[in-house]
Amino acid sequence: MIQLVSKRLGAMAVIILVLTAVVFALQKASPFDPVHSMLGPSASREAVAQQRHALGLDQPLPSQYWHYLTALLHADLGMSYRTRHPITADLATFLPATAELALFALVLALVLGTALAVATTLRWRGAGVLRFVLVAGASTPAFLLAIGGILIFYQLLGWLPATGRTSFTDAPTGPTGLLTLDGLLAGRPEVTLDAMGHLVLPGLALAIGPAVSIGRVLRSSLVGNRRTDYVRTAMAKGLSEGSVLRKHVVRNSLGPALSMTGLQIGLMFAGVLVIENVFSWPGIGQYTSLSIPVGDFPAIAGVTLLLGAGFVAINTIVDILQAVADPRIDV
């Protein structure tokens, strides 16, 4: 087990290193000149040269990459041209909102996916309706779903808020940055409830696609596992249907659903960029979409590295969980 974990962690480090190289190369290949972005088009030739030297842009590429890497190790992602703040500080400001939304969407996707899989496998009443709603939702682009949700539940019915994370101006800002948790920690349940309300629409818009993917994979492995010889053995032992399902079917069905979840989280990160704009969600997605038009490459690179590292980390965890779930896996 220790060997497996260290092996996976090693692989993760290599992937992230490659990611930094790709980001660095993109930065160099991009038509945006960072110096012009910083100083504006009317800067003097001397000022530009001076700034180039200050940024180390007059050094050979390998040494620039080396400086870039060593800075990264010190959590230094550079300065944003747009906000003029260190990017690390910017990310720390915007990350909690995105993390809360992504976590909520992930939990929602898992719950809905499991419900879809179990209901259709056991042919529960109402399974068809659930399946129709989810599949219809998943075949609609997320932004359309988001706009539709706003039209119905905000404008028409007025049940849910359409923008932002909270209706309070004095919402607690710490310690976790997740409003639902901070509300509870600060002894203000009304903040938590309100934050939940704000999460529902963007969360659903993000979760439905992954929920259907996860549900389908889980369902097909549940169905496949119910037909296996060892389930027949368990039935022959005279175990009840419920305990056959719990002890023999479900555990063996988790592997494929776990890997699908890992993949879907990647897609969810991409979806966050769009959804945060639709709902004016003050997170990484908005930060990125403001950075792209002005060529704020350090900011874009920072976000890319952060999300990339998150994706790799999550899939590493998925791999390890799979090995825990199935003793035959030996990575």
For 42, the token pair is 């009317």
Q: Which of 20, 252, 264, 291 binds other proteins (CB under 8 A)?
A: 252
**Minimum CB distance to other proteins, residue 324 (Å):** 10
Q: Which of 7, 53, 85, 246 binds other proteins (CB under 8 A)?
A: 7
Considering only CA atoms, give the Rg of the chain: 24
Which residues, numbered 17-36, are part of the site for other proteins (CB under 8 A)?
A: none
Q: Which of 233, 270, 280, 294 binds other proteins (CB under 8 A)?
A: 233
> Which range touches other proteins (CB under 8 A), out of 35-43, 51-59, 232-240, 296-304?
232-240
Q: Which of 53, 85, 246, 247 binds other proteins (CB under 8 A)?
A: 247
CB 27 within 8 A of CB 16: no
Q: Which of 165, 198, 219, 248 binds other proteins (CB under 8 A)?
A: 248
**Minimum CB distance to other proteins, residue 105 (Å):** 29
For 233, the token pair is 């053995």
The reply on whether position 234 binds other proteins by CB under 8 A is yes
C-beta of 74 vs 125, nearer to other proteins: 125
Residue type, 245: L
The residue behind tokens 């080396």 is 66
> How many binding residues for other proteins (CB under 8 A)?
26
The reply on whether position 235 binds other proteins by CB under 8 A is yes
Q: Which of 28, 53, 85, 232 binds other proteins (CB under 8 A)?
A: 232
- 18-27, Cβ contacts within 8 angstroms, sequence gap of 24 or more: 19/304, 19/305, 19/308, 19/309, 19/312, 20/68, 20/69, 20/72, 20/305, 21/65, 23/301, 23/304, 23/305, 24/64, 24/65, 24/68, 24/301, 26/301, 27/297, 27/301
Q: How many CA atoms lie within 13 A of 231 on its CB side?
A: 19
Q: Which of 43, 48, 223, 239 binds other proteins (CB under 8 A)?
A: 239
The reply on whether position 1 binds other proteins by CB under 8 A is yes
Interatomic CA distance for residues 303 and 88, integer angstroms: 10
Q: Which of 139, 240, 280, 289 binds other proteins (CB under 8 A)?
A: 240
Q: Per-residue x/- mask for other proteins, residues 185 to 224, rule CB under 8 A?
A: ----------------------------------------
- Which candidate, 328, 310, 330, places its Cα nearest to that of 15? 310
CB 114 within 8 A of CB 217: no
Q: Is 139 exposed, middle or buried (0-12, 13-18, 19+ CB in 10 A)?
A: exposed
Q: Which of 3, 42, 44, 155 binds other proteins (CB under 8 A)?
A: 3
Interface with other proteins (CB under 8 A)? 1, 3-4, 7, 228-230, 232-240, 247-248, 251-252, 325-328, 330-331
